[in-house]
Amino acid sequence: MYIILVVSLNLSMGFTGLINLGHLAFWGVGAYTSALLTLNGVPWYFAMLAAGIVAAFFGFILALPTSKIKGDYLAIVSLGLVFIMDSVVRNWTSLTRGALGLPGIPRITSSSINFLVFSFILAAVVYFFAYKLVSSKHGKIMQAVRDDETAAKVLGKNTQLYKIMSLVISTFMAGIAGSLFAHYITFIDPTIFSPDILIIVLSMLIVGGLASLNGAVFGAIIVLALSELPRIIIVVPALIGPIRDMTFALLVLIVLIYKPRGLFGKVDL
Amino acid sequence: MMLSIKSVAKNFGGVKAVNKCSFDIEENKITALIGPNGAGKTTLFNIISGLIGIDKGTIKLQNENITNLQPHKIANLGISRTFQLTKVFRNMSIKDNMLLAKHTSEEEIKKILDSVYLHKPLDTFASELSYGQQRLLEIARALLMPHSLLMLDEPTAGVNPKIRQELKLILKNLKKEGKTVLLIEHDMDFVMSVSDTIVVLNQGRVLKIGNPKQVVKDKKVLEAYLGK
Ligand SMILES: Nc1ncnc2c1ncn2[C@@H]1O[C@H](COP(=O)(O)OP(=O)(O)O)[C@@H](O)[C@H]1O
Ligand SMILES: [Mg+2]
């Protein structure tokens, strides 16, 4: 699930150079869409698809005005979107039950092993699709937009269209990842919009390196492994959180110092 | 007529970067655009390629109005260009840089790279090239892209003497092939030897249009250069 999230974020950020700090908003939207639909009797596979589509729709809305302006603004606008989503979900209580959250989201599979296998297959599909896209002609144009948008324009490329496309695809994947998350923990509330998760995902991306799909996968695995480590070796529960955050910070710092582009990264930000 | 520029004006705040400019670019000729720094030459390039919108005037490419069209549309109508500060895709190979201009065979790519004296393996990353070599790559890319008009913004700026010499050869070959080129260049000997028509720009205005002989004799031109 994290792998999907990181690979999808890497698509827009690493390959097209769009700094989308609001990625979390889309995965939250996906989680809520899927949860609400399945709680109302819609089969999970439809709900998951819908989660992707609704997230991509929001991605499209975000892309329209921001594709004309530069990357830094997109970062700010998209981060704003996280807070907007958070407050919508908190306050639209008739739909989302606000801070109470949505309990009892149906599981997709009966056993957690099956779920793991399913997530793994889904991540593989996303990885494969991203791989195909990145090595395609369209993927190359997205990378050109990242390196130098003006140069891409004078080579006759509609750069705005490519920026929109990249955001829509990446938010679709984020929506799917959100749906997967909802069906895994079976309970969601507005805290899924908290910056904690964003920090985890960004550290995965930085550790793995921008514009590298393998990096995205390894980054996700390394950071996840590290985040579980304190839970195993530290006995005092109150210390787990802070120590975990410190481990992330340390890890990101070490990687940035020794490998500024990340372990597998291909570009500078 | 390849390109026709009529009363084009562009202000940046209070600065009249381009002030009612009019001139034509003839087919199969090399036209040089010269003038002191800040005269508005690069701004005019950006206007022609659609990167900057204009306040007044019209621009026609082979009689088709292209005024204020989006840059990618203008490019696809047949205008290819390079930049004063080289713009290559740094994180991509030479081959991928070239393929973005036109989807074509390795043979054609190699042929064009040979014609600009860039002999490097196709999988070399653009960021590994020297600045001069990046310039050559950018010109090769502009040549590969299907076009009827080629615009080069100070191709010899900031490159070593060897590459400068090669660039002169490249332009002489383009002239021989009968290409239509609009060239911004400071090296006057070079401009005199290669161009058919010279347009002198000063403070956003056209000061003089003529062949090289007429331009060097012109009093106003001499003043604009010597006065600065
Ligand atoms: N984007 C811009 N914003 C504000 N002023 C600009 C901009 N681009 C160019 N100018 C101004 O327009 C004038 C012409 O610049 P330019 O076209 O770059 O000259 P040249 O290429 O002939 O040296 C200069 O006074 C420059 O400062
Ligand atoms: Mg200039």
Chain B closest-CA separation from residue A152 CA (Å): 8
Beta bridge partners, B152, equal B183
Binary contact (A155, B87; C-beta < 8 A): no
Is residue A168 within 8 Å of A8, Cβ to Cβ? no
Give the pLDDT score at A14. 47
What is the domain-level CATH number for residue B193? Answer: 3.40.50.300
Return the ∠ at Cα A19 (arms to A13 and A20), rounded to 5°.
90
Binary contact (B91, A147; C-beta < 8 A): yes
- Within a domain: B44: yes
Domain end, chosen from B145, B162, B188, is at: B145
| pLDDT surpasses 70 at A35 | yes
Average pLDDT of the residues of chain A: 68
- The answer to whether residues B44 and B152 belong to one domain is yes
- Which segment of A7-16, B36-45, B131-140, B202-211 scores lowest on mean pLDDT? A7-16
- Within a domain: B83: no
Closest CA to B204 of B12, B15, B11, B19: B19
- The answer to whether residues B20 and B68 belong to one domain is yes
DSSP class of A156: T
- The answer to whether residues B210 and B165 belong to one domain is yes
Domain end, chosen from B145, B177, B192, is at: B145
What pLDDT, in 10s, does the model give residues A49-63? 898 899 889 888 877
Confidence of residue A269 (pLDDT cuts 50, 70, 90): very low
A76: Cα separation from own chain's centroid: 16
Reported ipTM: the value is 0.89
- Which segment of A26-35, A187-196, A256-265, B172-181 scores lowest on mean pLDDT? A256-265
Binary contact (B70, A158; C-beta < 8 A): yes
- The answer to whether residues B200 and B104 belong to one domain is no
- The answer to whether residues B115 and B210 belong to one domain is no
**Ramachandran area for residue B61 (φ above 0: left; ψ -120 to 50: alpha; else beta):** beta
- Between the CA of B152 and the centroid of ligand 1 the distance, in Å, is 17
- Within a domain: B17: yes
CB of B40 closer than 6 A to ligand 1? Answer: yes
Residues, CB within 5 angstroms of ligand 2 (ion): B 42, 84
Confidence of residue A131 (pLDDT cuts 50, 70, 90): confident
Which residues 150-169 of chain B have a CB within 8 Å of chain A?
none
| pLDDT surpasses 70 at A265 | no
Binary contact (A147, B71; C-beta < 8 A): no
What pLDDT, in 10s, does the model give residues A197-246? 666 666 655 555 555 555 555 556 665 555 555 555 555 555 555 555 55
| Domain containing residue B133 | 88-145
User: What residue in B sits closest to A266 (Cα-Cα)?
Assistant: B91
Is residue B116 within 8 Å of B152, Cβ to Cβ? no
Query: Which is the closest atom of ligand 1 to the Cα of B41?
Result: 22
Confidence of residue A81 (pLDDT cuts 50, 70, 90): low
- The answer to whether residues B141 and B218 belong to one domain is no
Query: Structurally, how many domains does chain B consist of?
Result: 2
Chain A to chain B, count of Cβ pairs less than 8 Å apart? Answer: 64
- The answer to whether residues B36 and B117 belong to one domain is no
- Within a domain: B138: yes
Confidence of residue A194 (pLDDT cuts 50, 70, 90): low
Q: 3-state SS string over B126-137?
A: HHHCCHHHHHHH
Stated pTM of the model:
0.78
- The answer to whether residues B107 and B168 belong to one domain is no
DSSP class of B51: S
The tokens 């960004």 sit on which residue? A202
- The answer to whether residues B49 and B108 belong to one domain is no
What pLDDT, in 10s, does the model give residues B46-62? 999 999 999 999 999 99
- The answer to whether residues B208 and B117 belong to one domain is no
Query: What does the block give as tokens for B63?
Result: 């009689």
Chain A positions in Cβ-Cβ contact with residue B135 (cut-off 8 Å): none
Most B CBs within 10 A among A143, A145, A155, hence the mutation to make, goes to A155
Is residue B1 classed exposed, middle or buried when 0-12, 13-18 and 19+ CB atoms within 10 A define those classes? exposed
Residue A237 vs residue B147, higher pLDDT: B147
- Measured in residues, chain A has a length of 269
What is the residue extent of each domain of chain A?
Answer: 2-193, 194-269
Q: Report H helices in A92-209.
A: 93-96, 112-135, 137-147, 149-154, 159-185, 195-208
Helix (H, G, I), strand (E, B) or coil at B195: coil
Whole-angstrom Cα distance, residue B94 to residue A163?
23
